[in-house]
Amino acid sequence: MKAIPAYLRLIDEKPALALFKYVNTIMHKERPSPFTRVYGLSRSLLAIGTLLTLLFNPVDYIFVTSKSIHPAQLDFYKHINLFYLVGFDHLVIAKMIAVIILIIVISGYYPVVTGILHWWVSYSLFNAAVIVDGGDQITQILTFLFIPLTIMDPRPNHWTEPTKNYPYANYIGGLILTLVRIQVSILYFNAGISKFSVPEWLNGTAMYYWLGNNTFGPADYLRPFATLLTYNPIVVLLLTWGSILFEILLSASIFFSEKGKKRMLILGLMFHLFIFLFLGLGSFFFAMAGSLIIYLYPVKKPGNENGLLIRAAAV
């Protein structure tokens, strides 16, 4: 006899009981665990970017150390911002607290606790620092989205695999990761499309100015090569428009096959490594690497992430 579909078997049940049984069936459906080393690697990369900013810059460079800051801005942020809570005279202490938290995050221990602390540090830095880049903002957003996932993470360390199956946590965690991937896709789409409103990007000359920029330009040992690139207008045009098209392509990668996503992951990391080398944005590289890992590496089952970058590079 042909099996009766689940939705037909529920018709004769009382509505509330039927709905409960249906939802329970969905929640207990076997699905991959979101609590993997892929998500752990993403968290660690985000933390490394922030950690490098704090370690290699004195507080006088990062923060306003004078009390001349506008009172309205201070009143708004001081209630939860780590660097305002300790006061202007003790920013070094706040920096040390932030460094310790980030090191623990990178180590992977107790994500259920460090998830909120990680967001707190990234939020505090982004809203208190004098100079920030897009990577600091991205880190603040992703660490916030990761909070529910870290709270449900049953592992003592995010570099290990869960020892038990948690159907409800897997379902909700999967939804959160989907939201994170949509956020990263929108980020790249906006990054590509927004450049059309800038004349230098539209006429294909933007990379000429960026590669010659004294603040964000390449290191001294790479400057002769960067200057050589800017001498050729065709190369400048390809670099400029190529960047726009590639960012839009990265945005569309959310719809790619597993193999296509792995290829885009490698290309995306190379793209941001180029930005790191030629524009000097080190913390931005780690923020985007963490975003790309969680965005493009498809984990189908626990343990599938072993040899993450090695296998992806071989595709």
Residue 57: DSSP 8-state = S
Query: Is the per-residue pLDDT at 132 higher than 90?
Result: no
pLDDT confidence band for 133 (50 / 70 / 90)? confident
Of all residues in the chain, the percent with pLDDT exceeding 90 is 54
pLDDT at residue 53, as a whole number: 93
pLDDT at residue 156, as a whole number: 94
pLDDT confidence band for 304 (50 / 70 / 90)? very low
pLDDT at residue 307, as a whole number: 46
Query: Is the per-residue pLDDT at 3 higher than 80?
Result: no
* Mean of all residue pLDDT scores within the chain: 83
Mind listing the pLDDT tens digit for each residue in 264-277? 999 999 999 999 98
pLDDT at residue 311, as a whole number: 44
Of all residues in the chain, the percent with pLDDT exceeding 70 is 80
pLDDT at residue 231, as a whole number: 85
* Dist CA 109 CA 120 (whole Å): 17
pLDDT at residue 128, as a whole number: 86
Helix (H, G, I), strand (E, B) or coil at 68: coil
Query: Is the per-residue pLDDT at 127 higher than 90?
Result: no
Query: Is the per-residue pLDDT at 24 higher than 60?
Result: no
Across the range 32-36, mean pLDDT stands at 86
Mind listing the pLDDT tens digit for each residue in 144-175? 999 999 999 989 999 998 877 778 888 899 99
